């Protein structure tokens, strides 16, 4: 990360209120490179004070901040976010504030090839991705490397690769994500629950857990997404779950499906997923 200041007009600003220090970062509108982001750390200061110092030091007009991003821990409460939002809007003259969890910033660092980059810089990049309408992708070898380096980030990436999202209320139920596709007319949106398995050690119990979750939450179906091929007993467990489900698959959609990461990278989607 270059130490020189970057001259900006319209920009994004990100704040990481980590314990002991608040880190602030800025980047131009639609920024796409970590080298184009300025990062400063302020020890012993709160969010509002750190942002005011940063704006003053870098001569950034609060009116030029298009969006403020706050890095939070996964599952951060609404009340905690509300307090941070109020502090930021006071310092930034009511610029819109959004939140990004720390796992997401870590994933973006890995995608940038800089796993140790500041979370606030990764947050700025993520907003730039959204405004550009694009995001760096991984091939199979890079996905394997991501799993080896950070299994949690790998799980998050795999869910996103299916255009899904993480629902923190379901994490405790061993569900890694939810994928919604335009629905079949009789049921509305198709909602698939996803369990991601990166390494070896596949077990038929994952299928029974997934099937139980699908039925309990009245989802369209469940998807076990694997980096490596599961053994035959896992496929047999899926066949049994589909044959003995308390309800038949909706409009021919199996209760449980299994996909490999290479299949997803080649464009395969669950049976019943309408793009």
SS (H, E, C) the chain: CCCCCCCCCCEEEEEECCCCEEEEEEEECCCCCHHHEEEEEEECCCHHHHHHHHHHHHCCCHHHEEEEEEEECCCCCHHHHHHHHHHHHHHCCCCCEEEEEHHHHHHHHHHCCCCCCCHHHHHHHHHHHHHHCCCCCCCHHHHHHHHHHCHHHHHHHHHHHCCCECCHHHHCCCCCEEEEEEEECCCEEEEEEEEEECCCCCCHHHHHHHHHHHHHHCCCEEEEEECCCCCHHHHHHHHHHHHHCCCCCHHHCCCEEEEEHHHHHCCCCCCCCCC
Structure confidence by residue, pLDDT tens digits, 153-188: 999 999 999 988 888 777 667 889 999 877 654 445
Mean pLDDT of 228-234: 92
Evaluate if residue 146 carries a pLDDT over 90. Answer: yes
pLDDT score, position 102: 93
Mean pLDDT of 17-36: 92
Q: Which domains does the chain have, with CATH numbers?
A: 11-132 (3.30.420.40), 140-265 (3.40.1340)
């Amino acid at each position: 990360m270059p130490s020189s200041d970057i001259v900006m007009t319209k920009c994004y600003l990100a704040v990481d209120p980590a314990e002991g220090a608040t880190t602030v970062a800025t980047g131009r509108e639609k920024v796409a490179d970590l080298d184009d982001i300025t990062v400063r750390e302020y020890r012993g200061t709160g969010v509002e004070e750190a942002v005011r110092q940063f704006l003053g030091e870098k001569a950034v007009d609060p009116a030029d901040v298009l969006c403020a991003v706050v890095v939070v821990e996964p599952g951060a409460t609404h009340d905690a976010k509300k307090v941070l939002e109020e502090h930021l809007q006071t310092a930034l003259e009511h610029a819109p504030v959004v939140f990004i969890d720390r796992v997401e910033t870590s994933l973006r660092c890995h995608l940038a090839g800089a796993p140790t980059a500041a979370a606030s810089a990764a947050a700025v990049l993520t907003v730039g991705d959204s405004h550009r309408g694009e995001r760096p992708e991984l091939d199979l070898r890079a996905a394997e490397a991501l799993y080896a380096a950070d299994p949690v980030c790998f799980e998050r990436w795999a869910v996103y690769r299916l255009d899904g999202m993480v629902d923190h209320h379901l994490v405790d139920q061993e569900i890694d994500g939810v994928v919604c596709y335009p629905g079949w007319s009789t049921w509305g949106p198709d909602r698939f629950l996803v369990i991601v398995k990166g390494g070896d050690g596949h077990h038929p119990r994952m299928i029974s857990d997934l099937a139980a979750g699908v039925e309990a939450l009245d989802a369209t179906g469940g998807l076990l997404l694997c980096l490596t091929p599961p053994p035959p007993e896992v496929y047999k467990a899926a066949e049994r779950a589909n044959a003995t489900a308390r309800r038949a698959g909706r409009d021919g959609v199996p209760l449980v499906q299994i996909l490999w990461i290479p299949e997803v990278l080649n464009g395969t989607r669950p049976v019943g997923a309408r793009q």
